[in-house]
Amino acid sequence: HAKPLDIRHGDIHFHHVSFAYEDNLVLKEVDAHFHAGKTTAIVGPSGSGKTTLTQLISRFYDPTDGHITIDGTRIDEVTLSSLRSQIGVVSQDVVLFNGTIYDNIAYGQTQASFDDIRQAARVAYADSFIEELADGYEATVGERGVKLSGGQKQRISIARALLKDPSIILLDEATSALDTEAEKTIQAGLAELLQDRTTLVIAHRLSTIQNADHIIVLDEGRMIEQGTHRELLEKNGHYRRLYQSQFQQQVFS
Ligand code: ADP
């Protein structure tokens, strides 16, 4: 009896959510609100549950306990296809199929015009290597074709998400923070993508964390702090220690 989900605002609520892989409890009673149209940075040490938390929203997994709502509707009571069609996932581990990079960007977007795709693709093409491949339309990726780096895959997934125009973005930010021209184009593409959408970002760049509307801090599966960058620094707790220990590298783990 599942109905399609129609996201109007994109307010995401975790209601006492716990999750275990087999008997390994990795999220513990998380009560969190991800505000419509805002960017929330998720920070915490490696293994604290950041990736798993975002995967629950697209129902890659379902909570072991508690539930998640979007605009008040439980996501386990709507059709999976309607949920996923309104969520854009951006990461370096994006799954690509054999085909051209252009086709990979246009994947599933049957309504998109050539101009739309070209427009979205400019982020991916910021890298001249990719542009060469993309212009030679026979170029393939995946098993039969070229091997792309994590950063190149991420650009393709940003372009794909721009084209999809989803209400919600789940972003696993690239760990490198190079300040090249290509990187600036990508940051601009990301800024455009995140504008007015509900965004959860597993943040690695200090600038992303500082500019987020809200930050939640995970530690061993528990949400132990939340607030703005300024509020959390004033708290003088976990976030502040994390911030100070990572500051030299400019990158959060
Ligand atoms: P983070 O993104 O903060 O590094 P993860 O959500 O990836 O944390 O992982 C949280 C915990 O869950 C870790 O202990 C990790 O080893 C475990 N884990 C992650 N993915 C799986 C999986 N597919 N199967 C079993 N355990 C997993």
- pLDDT-based confidence at 33, cuts 50/70/90? very high
Domains of the chain: 1-86+167-177+196-253 (3.40.50.300), 95-165 (3.40.50.300)
Ligand 1 center–CA 49 separation, angstroms: 6
Closest CA to 83 of 52, 103, 64, 62: 62
> Is the pLDDT at 138 greater than 70, yes or no?
no
Residue 63 Cβ < 6 Å to ligand 1: no
Give the pLDDT of residue 119.
81
Cβ of residue 100 lying under 6 Å from some atom of ligand 1? no
| Per-residue pLDDT at 190 | 86
For residue 55, which atom of ligand 1 is closest to its CA?
6
Choose one of 18, 19, 21 to mutate for the ligand 1 pocket test, by most ligand atoms within 8 angstroms of C-beta.
21
SS3 sequence, 36-94?
CCCEEEEECCCCCCHHHHHHHHCCCCCCCEEEEEECCEEHHHECHHHHHHCEEEECCCC
pLDDT band for position 184 (cuts 50, 70, 90): confident
Q: What token pair was written down for 160?
A: 């794909």
pLDDT tens readout for residues 7-16? 999 999 999 9
Task: Please say if the pLDDT value at position 222 is more than 90.
Answer: yes
Closest-CA residue to 69 (of 123, 11, 127)? 11
pLDDT of residue 98: 80
What predicted TM-score, i.e. pTM, was given to this entire model? 0.89
Q: Which ipTM score applies to this complex? A: 0.98
Helix (H, G, I), strand (E, B) or coil at 124: helix
